[in-house]
Structure 1
Amino acid sequence: MNDHWKRKRQILALLSSDHFTSGEAIASEIGLTRMAVNQHIDALSDYGLEVFSVKGKGYKLASPITLVDEQSLIGGIENRCFYFDEIDSTNSFMLNHFVDLKSGDICIAEYQSAGRGRRGRQWLSPYGNHLYASLFWRFETNASNLMGLSLVIACSIVKTLSEMNITGLGMKWPNDIYLDDKKLAGILIEVAKTETKQTELVIGFGINMSMSAAQGELIDQPWSDLASQGVPDKTQLLVSLHRNLKSDIQAFSNHGLAPFIPFWNAYDLFANKQVRLLMAPNEVFGLCRGIDEQGAVVIETNSEIKAYIGGEISLRGI
């Protein structure tokens, strides 16, 4: 950890208390000048953090943050674990270094300056508020056999959160995770390299843990976070999730999507509901009948039951 982030983390620890802390107390605690403290606090807004400032009282974070314990994280994960306070994108880092990676290696960051979602959307990544990570995996098969992988990743995340006593979870095809019918987490899988008999992928995922009001206003859809049920220990969550992801991806490699379909069906937000499937410029209306063994969504219309997969498809309840 460089000195820049060491100082900021010391300040953040003091700002995370239930009461306001004066600038003088912060300066005395960590051995900085009052001006240097002000500069560090002013810079926190660049990382998506909101700090309350009250004259005569001092400073306090508008909402709590949870940071990874780096030593416990690296000690708890068998594979190589790259941990950053700040990075452009965990997916980009893994894509740039995939030739040196082994299946199960993971990159985790507290802040992304250029986080990405599906279809080129920006994924807001304020420092410390949420979980941002990317996993590398090398498959001994071509990409056409991996169509259901994003559903497996969604199942693995939901399973891990359920093991940590998070309730009200659901999944939306093809890979979004919801809490109390609002988006909690997303997945972005990108190809590092593909050949006839081998495919190397970077599996990125983000989970909202504690969204500030200011950041929430920047999101153009209903959202949820884990704070509503008590924010779990981020380090423990990452270690458990990494273990489940490795196990589930290996099971998918060996047996395909079939073993995961019952779990998906149990959490499918649209199961047996009327839906509209958008495939610009076309639309399909019908009953959602779950997924097939290739990961396609199955829609029953008045005339037929048909599976749909890939491209610019989104699923919306009606």
Structure 2
Amino acid sequence: MIDEAKLIQLLKEKKMSGEQLAQIFKVSRVAVWKKIKKLKDLGYKIESDKYGYRIIQLPDKLLPQEIIPNLKTKFIGKKYLYFEEIDSTNIQAKRENYEDGAVIFAESQTAGKGRKNRKWISHKGLGLYFTIVLKPEIEVNYLSHFSLLFNYSVFKVLRNYVNGKIKIKWPNDIYLNGKKIAGFLIESSIENNSISKLIVGVGINVNQSIKDFEEDIKEVATSLKIEEGKTFSRKEIFLDILQQIEKDYLKFIKENYLDIKKIEENLLWLNQDVMILEDGKPILSGKLIGLNEDGSLMLRTDEDLRFVYVGDLSIRNK
């Protein structure tokens, strides 16, 4: 039996003959040839001549062979499911009872969704579209904190990759230079006043060009590549995000504490006049003055201080 991860590592390091590989894995040279062919089909560029084989270029895909061996986590991503295309990683997460920490990744989604059933466009091979299954078994009153926790984890990673102005848009988005680059869809299961399962869907625009966005999206959405003028390693960002999410999640589960003030400092439109929309219609307006400890938004209206738990946040045009 040939260990694919080990084979890939060997062929990254140096050229090896079919005979050498057959001896290492205790298989026939035909078995080695078949495995090499499989790797080529997956997108690995492999140089081959009479002296042997060597990987000269990795596929631009987040294959299990590329993610699992490089993942420095305790449990998140140890179960890793990869799809070239799927309807939605969140939908897939609900099809089976996946283990705690399972990660479902897709190169493309045909039915990706954001909050309130809004469509999320998943450009094939250009973004990060994935879902993490978590089983926190924590009191339900902490539910509102999770939107901010995962948002802040991803924010902390992405800000290390950009020079532009990156902000958290309450409750489920990340903006770069005033346009959306990431969104979150978090679904929960509640049993006996406890959160038994979280399905954390994440979508991040990484290497899209302007031409990839439809006309009605260009004004509000962007990508890391568009804003920073270079192509990014999706694999590097993805690994960093999974590791940061696990670190922050385990800390929260242990301490039941989230540094709301740190998140507040990075809020989009902080200390500006904003509106809360419901079904596209304004229902409340005021100055965004921060976050309450329970994760709700604090607005100073003409009458009093209001706490907002649901709704869409928008800047108010004067």
1:86-165 matches, cutoff 5 A: 86-97=85-96, 99-102=97-100, 104-165=101-162
Secondary structure of 2:194's counterpart equals coil
2:223 to 225, 228, 249: 225
2:171 to 145, 170, 174: 174
Distance 1:69 1:4, change over 3 A: closer
- Matched AA of 2:267: D
Residue 191 of structure 1 and its aligned partner are, at CA, apart by: 2.2
1:18-49 Cα shifts (integer Å, max 9, x gaps) = xxxxxxxxxxxxxxxxxxxxxxxxxxxxxxxx
CA distance in structure 2 between the partners assigned to 1:173 and 1:316 by the alignment: 10
2:213 to 202, 207, 216: 216
- Matched AA of 2:157: T
Identify which range, 243-252 or 160-169, moves more after superposition: 160-169
- Higher Rg of the two aligned structures: 2
Q: Is the 8 A contact 1:142 1:199 kept in 2?
A: no
Paired position in structure 2 for 1:72: 66
Structure 1 length-normalised TM: 0.74
* Equivalenced residues, count: 261
Q: Is the 8 A contact 2:143 2:195 kept in 1?
A: no
Paired position in structure 2 for 1:203: 200
Identical columns (%): 26
CA distance in structure 1 between the partners assigned to 2:104 and 2:193 by the alignment: 27
1:10-49 matches, cutoff 5 A: none
- Matched AA of 2:68: I
Secondary structure of 2:138's counterpart equals coil
CA distance in structure 1 between the partners assigned to 2:191 and 2:252 by the alignment: 18
Q: Is the 8 A contact 2:98 2:133 kept in 1?
A: no
Secondary structure of 1:147's counterpart equals helix
Residue 217 of structure 1 and its aligned partner are, at CA, apart by: 1.3
Paired position in structure 2 for 1:34: none
Residue 69 of structure 1 and its aligned partner are, at CA, apart by: 5.1
CA RMSD of aligned residues (A): 2.8
Residue 282 of structure 1 and its aligned partner are, at CA, apart by: 5.9
Paired position in structure 2 for 1:20: none
Query: Which stretches in structure 2 are left out of the alignment for 5+ residues?
Result: 5-36, 46-58
Secondary structure of 1:284's counterpart equals strand
Paired position in structure 2 for 1:191: 188
Residue 202 of structure 1 and its aligned partner are, at CA, apart by: 0.6
Residue 218 of structure 1 and its aligned partner are, at CA, apart by: 5.5
Residue 173 of structure 1 and its aligned partner are, at CA, apart by: 0.8
1:247-289 Cα shifts (integer Å, max 9, x gaps) = 1112222344542x23212221111111112246662121101
Q: Is the 8 A contact 1:257 1:294 kept in 2?
A: no
CA distance in structure 2 between the partners assigned to 1:308 and 1:295 by the alignment: 9
Q: Is the 8 A contact 1:90 1:204 kept in 2?
A: yes
Higher relative contact order structure (alpha carbons within 8 Å, sequence separation ≥ 6): 1
CA distance in structure 1 between the partners assigned to 2:157 and 2:253 by the alignment: 20
Paired position in structure 2 for 1:263: 262
Query: Which stretches in structure 1 are left out of the alignment for 5+ residues?
Result: 14-64
Distance 1:252 1:178, change over 3 A: same
- Matched AA of 1:174: P
CA distance in structure 1 between the partners assigned to 2:273 and 2:108 by the alignment: 39
Paired position in structure 1 for 2:239: 239
1:211-267 Cα shifts (integer Å, max 9, x gaps) = 2444311554511101132232111111110010011112222344542x2321222
Q: Is the 8 A contact 1:277 1:314 kept in 2?
A: yes
